[in-house]
Amino acid sequence: MKIDSSEIKWHLLFIILVLLLVYPLLFSLSTSFKTMSEAFQSSSLIPMEPTFSAYERVFTTINFVQILSNTFIIAAIVTLFKLATSIFAAYAFVFFHFKGKNVLYFLLISTIFIPFTVTMIPNYITLSKVGFVDSIYGVALPQLADATGIFLLRQYMKGIPMSLMEVAELERASHLTRLRTIVVPLIRPAILSIGIIFFINSWNEYVWPAIMIKSEVNYTLSLALQMFVSSEGGTDVPVAMAVATLTMLLPLGLYAVCQKFIIGTFAQSGIKG
Protein backbone atom coordinates (compact mmCIF):
# COMPACT_ATOMS: atom_id res chain seq x y z
CA MET A 1 0.00 0.00 0.00
CA LYS A 2 1.37 3.37 -1.07
CA ILE A 3 1.72 5.92 1.73
CA ASP A 4 1.08 9.53 0.83
CA SER A 5 3.90 11.74 2.12
CA SER A 6 1.49 14.62 2.70
CA GLU A 7 -0.57 12.43 5.07
CA ILE A 8 2.58 11.61 7.06
CA LYS A 9 3.33 15.32 7.40
CA TRP A 10 -0.19 16.07 8.62
CA HIS A 11 -0.07 13.19 11.12
CA LEU A 12 3.28 14.39 12.47
CA LEU A 13 1.89 17.90 12.80
CA PHE A 14 -1.16 16.65 14.71
CA ILE A 15 1.02 14.52 16.98
CA ILE A 16 3.18 17.55 17.80
CA LEU A 17 0.08 19.66 18.53
CA VAL A 18 -1.36 16.94 20.78
CA LEU A 19 1.91 16.68 22.70
CA LEU A 20 1.99 20.45 23.17
CA LEU A 21 -1.56 20.38 24.55
CA VAL A 22 -1.09 17.34 26.76
CA TYR A 23 2.30 18.30 28.22
CA PRO A 24 0.96 20.99 30.63
CA LEU A 25 -1.52 18.46 32.03
CA LEU A 26 1.18 15.85 32.54
CA PHE A 27 3.50 18.48 34.03
CA SER A 28 0.82 19.56 36.51
CA LEU A 29 0.09 15.99 37.55
CA SER A 30 3.78 15.11 37.86
CA THR A 31 4.73 18.22 39.84
CA SER A 32 1.91 17.63 42.32
CA PHE A 33 3.74 14.46 43.45
CA LYS A 34 7.12 16.18 43.86
CA THR A 35 8.74 17.81 46.85
CA MET A 36 9.27 21.58 46.83
CA SER A 37 13.00 21.28 46.11
CA GLU A 38 12.52 18.78 43.30
CA ALA A 39 9.79 20.92 41.71
CA PHE A 40 12.30 23.77 41.29
CA GLN A 41 15.32 21.64 40.41
CA SER A 42 13.86 19.13 37.96
CA SER A 43 11.50 19.45 35.01
CA SER A 44 11.21 15.69 34.52
CA LEU A 45 7.71 14.26 34.21
CA ILE A 46 8.69 11.36 36.48
CA PRO A 47 9.09 12.35 40.16
CA MET A 48 12.27 11.01 41.74
CA GLU A 49 10.60 10.54 45.14
CA PRO A 50 6.80 10.57 44.68
CA THR A 51 4.92 11.97 47.66
CA PHE A 52 1.33 12.88 48.53
CA SER A 53 2.42 15.71 50.82
CA ALA A 54 1.14 18.40 48.43
CA TYR A 55 -2.35 16.88 48.47
CA GLU A 56 -2.20 16.60 52.26
CA ARG A 57 -1.36 20.31 52.50
CA VAL A 58 -4.27 21.15 50.21
CA PHE A 59 -6.78 19.53 52.55
CA THR A 60 -5.17 20.93 55.71
CA THR A 61 -4.55 24.49 54.45
CA ILE A 62 -7.94 25.24 52.88
CA ASN A 63 -11.49 23.99 53.31
CA PHE A 64 -11.34 22.07 50.06
CA VAL A 65 -14.77 20.45 50.42
CA GLN A 66 -16.45 23.85 50.93
CA ILE A 67 -14.60 25.36 47.98
CA LEU A 68 -15.46 22.37 45.80
CA SER A 69 -19.10 22.71 46.86
CA ASN A 70 -19.13 26.43 45.98
CA THR A 71 -17.71 25.74 42.55
CA PHE A 72 -20.18 22.94 41.87
CA ILE A 73 -23.20 24.99 43.02
CA ILE A 74 -22.25 27.92 40.79
CA ALA A 75 -21.58 25.67 37.78
CA ALA A 76 -24.81 23.71 38.33
CA ILE A 77 -26.99 26.84 38.65
CA VAL A 78 -25.42 28.47 35.59
CA THR A 79 -25.72 25.28 33.52
CA LEU A 80 -29.35 24.56 34.40
CA PHE A 81 -30.55 28.12 33.80
CA LYS A 82 -28.56 28.52 30.58
CA LEU A 83 -30.01 25.28 29.25
CA ALA A 84 -33.56 26.23 30.24
CA THR A 85 -33.38 29.69 28.66
CA SER A 86 -31.63 28.34 25.57
CA ILE A 87 -34.24 25.60 25.02
CA PHE A 88 -37.23 27.93 25.38
CA ALA A 89 -35.68 30.73 23.31
CA ALA A 90 -34.55 28.38 20.53
CA TYR A 91 -38.03 26.81 20.40
CA ALA A 92 -39.61 30.24 20.06
CA PHE A 93 -37.25 31.27 17.25
CA VAL A 94 -37.93 28.07 15.29
CA PHE A 95 -41.61 27.31 15.82
CA PHE A 96 -43.18 30.69 16.64
CA HIS A 97 -44.02 33.17 13.90
CA PHE A 98 -44.06 36.82 14.87
CA LYS A 99 -43.10 40.15 13.35
CA GLY A 100 -39.44 41.09 13.73
CA LYS A 101 -38.31 37.57 14.67
CA ASN A 102 -35.25 37.61 12.44
CA VAL A 103 -34.19 41.07 13.64
CA LEU A 104 -34.59 40.02 17.27
CA TYR A 105 -32.58 36.85 16.62
CA PHE A 106 -29.81 38.85 14.94
CA LEU A 107 -29.64 41.26 17.88
CA LEU A 108 -29.51 38.35 20.31
CA ILE A 109 -26.72 36.55 18.47
CA SER A 110 -24.74 39.78 18.14
CA THR A 111 -24.35 39.83 21.93
CA ILE A 112 -21.89 36.95 21.52
CA PHE A 113 -19.37 39.48 20.22
CA ILE A 114 -19.71 41.91 23.14
CA PRO A 115 -16.52 41.66 25.26
CA PHE A 116 -16.86 40.68 28.90
CA THR A 117 -15.07 43.87 29.94
CA VAL A 118 -17.98 45.94 28.56
CA THR A 119 -20.56 44.33 30.87
CA MET A 120 -18.27 43.64 33.83
CA ILE A 121 -18.54 47.03 35.57
CA PRO A 122 -22.32 47.52 35.02
CA ASN A 123 -22.97 44.00 36.35
CA TYR A 124 -20.80 44.62 39.42
CA ILE A 125 -22.50 47.94 40.21
CA THR A 126 -25.96 46.43 39.81
CA LEU A 127 -25.22 43.40 41.98
CA SER A 128 -23.51 45.49 44.65
CA LYS A 129 -26.65 47.62 45.00
CA VAL A 130 -28.80 44.54 45.66
CA GLY A 131 -26.30 42.96 48.07
CA PHE A 132 -24.93 40.11 45.96
CA VAL A 133 -21.24 41.00 46.26
CA ASP A 134 -19.23 38.28 48.04
CA SER A 135 -21.91 35.70 47.25
CA ILE A 136 -21.75 32.63 45.05
CA TYR A 137 -25.19 33.56 43.74
CA GLY A 138 -23.84 36.92 42.65
CA VAL A 139 -21.31 35.03 40.54
CA ALA A 140 -24.04 32.95 38.90
CA LEU A 141 -26.72 35.62 38.39
CA PRO A 142 -25.31 37.46 35.33
CA GLN A 143 -24.71 34.16 33.52
CA LEU A 144 -28.22 32.67 33.47
CA ALA A 145 -28.68 33.05 29.69
CA ASP A 146 -26.35 32.43 26.77
CA ALA A 147 -26.73 33.38 23.11
CA THR A 148 -24.36 30.61 21.97
CA GLY A 149 -26.62 27.95 23.48
CA ILE A 150 -29.64 29.49 21.78
CA PHE A 151 -27.83 29.48 18.43
CA LEU A 152 -26.72 25.83 18.70
CA LEU A 153 -30.08 24.51 19.87
CA ARG A 154 -31.90 26.51 17.20
CA GLN A 155 -29.75 24.84 14.55
CA TYR A 156 -30.67 21.43 15.95
CA MET A 157 -34.38 22.22 16.22
CA LYS A 158 -34.48 23.38 12.59
CA GLY A 159 -33.68 19.78 11.63
CA ILE A 160 -36.84 18.42 13.28
CA PRO A 161 -39.41 17.38 10.61
CA MET A 162 -42.26 19.87 10.54
CA SER A 163 -44.68 16.99 9.96
CA LEU A 164 -44.21 15.96 13.60
CA MET A 165 -45.12 19.42 14.81
CA GLU A 166 -48.11 19.57 12.43
CA VAL A 167 -49.45 16.30 13.80
CA ALA A 168 -49.05 17.63 17.34
CA GLU A 169 -50.90 20.78 16.30
CA LEU A 170 -53.77 18.69 14.89
CA GLU A 171 -53.88 16.84 18.21
CA ARG A 172 -54.20 20.26 19.86
CA ALA A 173 -51.11 19.69 21.94
CA SER A 174 -49.82 22.78 23.71
CA HIS A 175 -46.41 24.19 22.91
CA LEU A 176 -45.14 22.99 26.26
CA THR A 177 -46.34 19.47 25.46
CA ARG A 178 -44.71 19.57 22.03
CA LEU A 179 -41.47 20.79 23.56
CA ARG A 180 -41.51 18.09 26.26
CA THR A 181 -42.62 15.09 24.17
CA ILE A 182 -41.18 15.82 20.72
CA VAL A 183 -38.46 18.44 20.65
CA VAL A 184 -36.45 17.70 23.80
CA PRO A 185 -36.20 13.91 23.18
CA LEU A 186 -34.98 14.52 19.62
CA ILE A 187 -32.29 17.02 20.60
CA ARG A 188 -31.22 15.35 23.86
CA PRO A 189 -27.60 14.72 22.64
CA ALA A 190 -27.25 18.42 21.82
CA ILE A 191 -28.67 19.44 25.19
CA LEU A 192 -26.25 17.10 26.95
CA SER A 193 -23.17 18.31 25.07
CA ILE A 194 -24.03 22.01 25.35
CA GLY A 195 -24.77 21.53 29.04
CA ILE A 196 -21.32 20.01 29.54
CA ILE A 197 -19.70 22.96 27.75
CA PHE A 198 -21.63 25.39 29.97
CA PHE A 199 -20.61 23.46 33.08
CA ILE A 200 -16.91 23.31 32.18
CA ASN A 201 -16.79 27.02 31.28
CA SER A 202 -18.39 27.98 34.59
CA TRP A 203 -16.20 25.52 36.52
CA ASN A 204 -13.00 27.03 35.11
CA GLU A 205 -14.03 30.69 35.36
CA TYR A 206 -11.65 32.94 37.29
CA VAL A 207 -12.05 36.65 36.46
CA TRP A 208 -15.70 37.17 37.45
CA PRO A 209 -15.46 35.18 40.72
CA ALA A 210 -12.26 37.10 41.56
CA ILE A 211 -14.17 40.37 41.18
CA MET A 212 -17.27 39.29 43.12
CA ILE A 213 -15.93 37.09 45.92
CA LYS A 214 -14.01 38.58 48.83
CA SER A 215 -14.11 36.02 51.66
CA GLU A 216 -12.36 32.66 51.58
CA VAL A 217 -15.50 30.78 52.62
CA ASN A 218 -17.05 31.65 49.24
CA TYR A 219 -13.96 30.88 47.14
CA THR A 220 -14.13 28.75 44.01
CA LEU A 221 -11.40 26.32 42.94
CA SER A 222 -9.83 28.83 40.56
CA LEU A 223 -9.49 31.33 43.41
CA ALA A 224 -8.15 28.65 45.75
CA LEU A 225 -5.41 27.95 43.22
CA GLN A 226 -4.40 31.61 43.30
CA MET A 227 -3.87 31.35 47.08
CA PHE A 228 -0.76 29.23 46.46
CA VAL A 229 0.67 31.37 43.66
CA SER A 230 2.63 34.52 44.49
CA SER A 231 3.84 37.09 41.95
CA GLU A 232 6.62 38.05 44.37
CA GLY A 233 8.03 34.54 44.78
CA GLY A 234 7.38 31.97 47.46
CA THR A 235 4.92 30.03 45.32
CA ASP A 236 4.21 26.57 46.69
CA VAL A 237 4.46 24.88 43.29
CA PRO A 238 3.57 21.28 44.28
CA VAL A 239 0.47 22.42 46.20
CA ALA A 240 -0.58 24.75 43.38
CA MET A 241 -0.24 21.90 40.90
CA ALA A 242 -2.19 19.60 43.25
CA VAL A 243 -5.08 22.09 43.32
CA ALA A 244 -4.86 22.45 39.53
CA THR A 245 -4.95 18.67 39.11
CA LEU A 246 -7.97 18.30 41.40
CA THR A 247 -9.69 21.17 39.61
CA MET A 248 -9.38 19.64 36.16
CA LEU A 249 -10.42 16.07 37.06
CA LEU A 250 -14.19 16.58 36.77
CA PRO A 251 -14.15 18.65 33.53
CA LEU A 252 -11.75 16.19 31.88
CA GLY A 253 -13.89 13.27 32.99
CA LEU A 254 -17.07 14.84 31.63
CA TYR A 255 -15.45 15.65 28.33
CA ALA A 256 -13.92 12.17 27.99
CA VAL A 257 -17.30 10.52 28.51
CA CYS A 258 -19.31 12.86 26.28
CA GLN A 259 -16.83 14.05 23.66
CA LYS A 260 -18.70 12.43 20.75
CA PHE A 261 -21.84 14.40 21.66
CA ILE A 262 -19.89 17.66 21.92
CA ILE A 263 -18.13 17.20 18.58
CA GLY A 264 -21.36 16.06 16.93
CA THR A 265 -23.25 19.11 18.18
CA PHE A 266 -20.83 21.59 16.60
CA ALA A 267 -20.68 19.52 13.41
CA GLN A 268 -24.47 19.49 13.11
CA SER A 269 -24.76 23.21 13.89
CA GLY A 270 -22.59 23.93 10.86
CA ILE A 271 -24.53 21.59 8.54
CA LYS A 272 -28.10 22.68 9.25
CA GLY A 273 -29.28 25.95 7.85
* pLDDT (mean) for 218-234: 77
Q: Does the pLDDT at position 136 exceed 90?
A: yes
Q: Can you give the pLDDT at residue 262?
A: 67
Instruction: Determine what percent of the chain is predicted with pLDDT higher than 70.
Output: 92
Q: What is the mean pLDDT of residues 120-141?
A: 92
Q: How confident is the model at residue 271 (pLDDT cuts 50, 70, 90)?
A: very low
Residue 219 has pLDDT above 90, yes or no: yes
pLDDT for the residue numbered 144: 92
The pLDDT value given to residue 183: 92
* Residue 231 pLDDT > 60: no
Whether residue 245 contacts residue 237, with contact meaning beta carbons closer than 8 Å, is answered with: no
What mean pLDDT is predicted for residues 212-220? Answer: 91
Lowest-confidence segment of 88-97, 134-143, 160-169 by average pLDDT:
160-169
Is the predicted pLDDT of residue 272 greater than 60, yes or no?
no
CA separation, residue 162 to residues 99, 178, 255 (Å)? 20, 12, 32
Find out whether 193 and 268 touch, Cβ atoms under 8 Å: no
Q: Which 3-state string (H, E, C) describes the chain?
A: CCCCHHHHHHHHHHHHHHHHHHHHHHHHHHHCCCCHHHHHHCCCCCCCCCCCHHHHHHHHHCCHHHHHHHHHHHHHHHHHHHHHHHHHHHHHHHHCCCCCHHHHHHHHHHHHHCCHHHHHHHHHHHHHHCCCCCCHHHHHHHHCCCHHHHHHHHHHHCCCCHHHHHHHHHCCCCHHHHHHHHHHHHCHHHHHHHHHHHHHHHHHCCHHHHHHCCCHHHCCHHHHHHHCCCCCCCCCHHHHHHHHHHHHHHHHHHHHHHHHHHHHHHHHHHHCC
Note whether 32 and 245 are within 8 A (CB): yes
User: pLDDT digits over 142-157, tens only?
Assistant: 999 999 999 999 988 9
Q: Is the pLDDT of residue 66 over 90?
A: yes
Average pLDDT, the chain: 86
Is pLDDT of 97 > 60? yes
Quick one: what percent of the chain has pLDDT higher than 90?
38
- The answer, yes or no, to whether residue 233 has pLDDT greater than 60, is no
Whether the per-residue pLDDT at 14 is higher than 80: the answer is yes
pLDDT for 85 beyond 90: yes
Q: What is the pLDDT of residue 269?
A: 52
* 270 pLDDT higher than 70: no
Answer whether 38's CB lies under 8 Å from 49's CB.
Answer: yes
**Angstrom distance (rounded) from CA 152 to CA 197:** 12
Residue 71: pLDDT over 90: yes
Q: From CA 35, how far away is CA 246, in angstroms rounded?
A: 18
- Better-scored residue on pLDDT, 5 or 257: 257
Q: Check: pTM over 0.95? Answer yes or no.
A: no
> In this predicted structure, what is the pLDDT of residue 266?
60
Residue 231 or residue 23, greater confidence? 23
Burial bucket for residue 65 (CB in 10 Å: 0-12, 13-18, 19+): exposed
Closest CA to 204 of 216, 224, 221: 221
